[in-house]
Amino acid sequence: MTDAHALTLFNSLTRQLEPFQPVHEGEARVYSCGPTVYNYPHIGNMRAYVFADILGRTLSHKGYRLTHVINITDVGHLTDDADAGEDKMEKMAAEKAQSIWDIARHYTEAYWADIAALNIRQPAQWSVATEYVPQMIEFAKQIADKHCYEIDSGLYFDVSTVADYGRLARAVTEEGEGRIEAVDGKRNAADFAIWRKTPAGEKRQMEWDSPWGPGAPGWHLECSVMSGKLLGFPFDIHTGGIDHREIHHPNEIAQNQAFCCTNGLDIPANSGARVWMHNNFLVERSGKMSKSSGEFLRLQLLIDRGYHPLAYRMMCLQAHYRSELEFSWDGLGAALTRLKRMIMAAERLADVEAGAPSHPKLAAMIETFEKAMSEDLNTPVALTALEDVLAAKKVDPAAKRAVVEAMDAVLGLGLFGTSRADLRLRPKNAVISEAEIEAALAARKKARAAKDFAASDTLRDELAAKGVEAMDGDPLGWEWKLG
Ligand code: AMP
Ligand code: ZN
């Protein structure tokens, strides 16, 4: 596929669209803030990784050699992002009476399962915070004299020692801003711990010796150190959800400035990463996204209810990553139906070998797709271009196959790796077997064809009593879901 379009990305730091200019010719180095593995990720968290995946796939598609790092935070993230409260890992370990290491392993594996289920490509490296503590101490030692001060609770970063602190944030982070809790002895409200000392007389499950006494690294320090070590300052792109734009990333940037230079942020390279990108939130009105609510929205819950995980990926792609996306079961159902239709169309190309992607009819669709992805990853428009290709009539199937493959390599819907049957998941609490449902649906179809609506209604009611809703409007004829 040819590429006449330069990639333009929205940089949260400069608040504008900028042409992507790699630091190293032909390469793209990307760091994404990873999960804190004290609990299962909710589907909102996974939106952040679908976004990072789309970014990575697009960079690959544009021909850049991609190095993507995602970290695993297994220490240091407090219950409050702005540095107060308890360590999330310690808290969960105490609640479950398990070791932090077991908690971390369990939830890291659960997160990786979601990554795989959503067809998110593996990054070049998963960097685990606890494996970089000596490097974190080294980094802290280098900036301590000029930029930090020690108080009882730890070594704190003085945000007044770097130029332009907080430029990235949209909310005010000055004194009085509600989210930052007061800590005795802090010079500025926005100062944050880069090393948290274990209180005298206490022993934490996770602690390391340091020049400031036994303790644990601060969450912000982790990401500065791992991104700098693995990608080199300055690297190209740093990603995360918009909540990170307010505290975590401004603090990373301040540390990076202290480490590299103390110059201001008018030159983006001074922030450690040239481009900072943030996905907007997935929201849900009833509060089911909160991990503290009993049944929160995990990917597994969607699967248990009969929705294939790729339907959730589709749902994410239907919105631009910078727009808020509202979750609803109906919306998810619609995304699943859309995916089914695309997969059905792709199945017609299953045995076709890809040929040259050149066909006059397809050229305009390719153009639309390339333009959309090049303009700050406009997946909603790119999806429609892919659908147009799938629906195009009187086009050489070999050319069609080639174009669909290339577009799907960017969107990652797995159109040739997933069959219609794969998409049909049986809800976990369905009290009826799939074969029985199929038989009832087939009988009902027959009855309807024979205009025996009484029999058809009876079959529908019987299915409904068993928790299965037969969906008449569905021309595919094989749709069912839990009523
Ligand atoms: P955490 O495990 O809390 O550090 O979050 C992992 C990632 O999910 C971070 O990039 C967050 O910014 C992002 N995130 C958290 N909540 C949401 C949400 N509701 N929608 C989209 N992204 C989110
Ligand atoms: Zn981070």
Tokens of 335: 């995304």
Stretch 203-219: mean pLDDT: 92
**Which pTM value belongs to this model?**
0.90
**Is the CB of residue 39 less than 8 Å from the CB of residue 45?**
no
Helix (H, G, I), strand (E, B) or coil at 190: coil
- pLDDT (0 to 100) of residue 177: 42
Stretch 419-441: mean pLDDT: 79
Q: Is the pLDDT of residue 176 over 60?
A: no
Helix ranges restricted to H, 97-132:
100-117
Q: Is the pLDDT of residue 114 over 70?
A: yes
Q: Does residue 214 have a cis peptide bond before it, meaning omega lies within 30 degrees of 0?
A: no
Domain map (residue ranges) of the chain: 8-283, 305-421, 428-482
Annotated binding-site residue? 438: no
- pLDDT (0 to 100) of residue 83: 67
- Report d(CA 287, CA 391) in Å as an integer: 39
The dihedral formed by the CA atoms of 47, 302, 120 and 373, expressed in degrees to the nearest 10 = -50
Helix (H, G, I), strand (E, B) or coil at 333: helix
- Report d(CA 180, CA 175) in Å as an integer: 8
CA-CA distances (angstroms) from residue 167 to 17, 23, 170, 281, 402? Answer: 17, 22, 8, 21, 44
Helix (H, G, I), strand (E, B) or coil at 253: helix
Q: Is 220 exposed, middle or buried (0-12, 13-18, 19+ CB in 10 A)?
A: buried
Helix (H, G, I), strand (E, B) or coil at 87: strand
Tokens of 455: 């029999």
Q: Is 292 exposed, middle or buried (0-12, 13-18, 19+ CB in 10 A)?
A: exposed
Least distant ligand from the CA of 284: 1
Stretch 178-198: mean pLDDT: 83
DSSP state of 31: E
Annotated binding-site residue? 138: no
Stretch 180-187: mean pLDDT: 77
> Which pLDDT band holds residue 1 (cuts at 50, 70, 90)?
very low
- Report d(CA 344, CA 333) in Å as an integer: 16
- pLDDT (0 to 100) of residue 425: 77
- pLDDT (0 to 100) of residue 473: 61
CA of 42 to the centre of ligand 1 (A): 8
Q: Is the pLDDT of residue 241 over 60?
A: yes
Annotated binding-site residue? 148: no
- Report d(CA 346, CA 483) in Å as an integer: 29
Residue nearest to atom 6 of ligand 1 (CA): 35
Helices vs strands, H then E, count in the chain? 15, 17
- Report d(CA 381, CA 379) in Å as an integer: 5
Out of 16-20, 30-34, 464-468, 478-482, which region has the weakest mean confidence (pLDDT)?
478-482
Of residues 87 and 277, the one with the higher pLDDT is: 277
Q: Is the pLDDT of residue 187 over 90?
A: yes
- pLDDT (0 to 100) of residue 2: 43
Q: Which residues pair with 156 in a beta bridge?
A: 149, 193
- pLDDT (0 to 100) of residue 472: 67
Look up residue 231 and give its amino acid. Answer: L
- pLDDT (0 to 100) of residue 91: 86
289 lines ligand 1 (CB under 6 A): yes
241 lines ligand 1 (CB under 6 A): yes
pLDDT in tens, 354-397: 998 888 899 999 999 999 999 999 999 999 999 999 999 999 99
Angle at 330 between CA 328 and CA 335, to 5 degrees: 95
* Residues 6+ away with beta carbon under 8 Å from 328: 284
Q: Is 191 exposed, middle or buried (0-12, 13-18, 19+ CB in 10 A)?
A: buried
Please choose, from the candidates 222, 175, 226, 166, the residue with its C-alpha nearest in 3D space to the C-alpha of residue 194: 222
Tokens of 138: 């080294």
Q: Is the pLDDT of residue 431 over 80?
A: no
> Which pLDDT band holds residue 203 (cuts at 50, 70, 90)?
confident
- pLDDT (0 to 100) of residue 428: 77
Annotated binding-site residue? 481: no
- pLDDT (0 to 100) of residue 64: 98
- pLDDT (0 to 100) of residue 467: 67
What percentage of the chain exceeds 90 in pLDDT? 69
Q: Which residues pair with 30 in a beta bridge?
A: 68, 237
Stretch 466-475: mean pLDDT: 66
- pLDDT (0 to 100) of residue 81: 66
Annotated binding-site residue? 147: no
Q: Mean pLDDT score of the chain, rounded to an integer?
A: 90
- Phi/psi of residue 128, nearest 5 degrees: -100, 125
- pLDDT (0 to 100) of residue 78: 78
User: In CATH terms, is domain 8-283 a member of 3.40.140.10?
Assistant: no
Please choose, from the candidates 76, 95, 195, 209, the residue with its C-alpha nearest in 3D space to the C-alpha of residue 139: 195
- Report d(CA 86, CA 244) in Å as an integer: 19
- Report d(CA 233, CA 259) in Å as an integer: 10
pLDDT in tens, 45-87: 999 999 999 999 999 999 999 999 999 999 877 777 666 678 8
- pLDDT (0 to 100) of residue 256: 97
Least distant ligand from the CA of 248: 2
**Is the CB of residue 64 less than 8 Å from the CB of residue 267?**
no
> Of the residues 45, 78, 168, 289, which should be mutated to test ligand 1's pocket, given the most ligand atoms within 8 Å of the CB?
45
Stretch 200-227: mean pLDDT: 93
88 lines ligand 1 (CB under 6 A): no
> Which pLDDT band holds residue 210 (cuts at 50, 70, 90)?
very high
Q: Is the pLDDT of residue 475 over 60?
A: no
**Is the CB of residue 256 less than 8 Å from the CB of residue 290?**
no
Residue in the block written with tokens 């794969």: 422
CA-CA distances (angstroms) from residue 56 to 20, 48, 229, 409? Answer: 13, 12, 20, 11
Look up residue 29 and give its amino acid. Answer: R
Out of 143-157, 159-173, 196-210, 317-331, which region has the weakest mean confidence (pLDDT)?
159-173
Residues lining ion ligand 2 (Cβ < 5 A) are: 33, 223
- Report d(CA 483, CA 308) in Å as an integer: 17
What percentage of the chain exceeds 70 in pLDDT? 93
Task: Please tell me which of 127-136, 165-174, 258-267 the model is most confident about, judged by mean pLDDT.
Answer: 127-136
**Is the CB of residue 280 less than 8 Å from the CB of residue 326?**
no
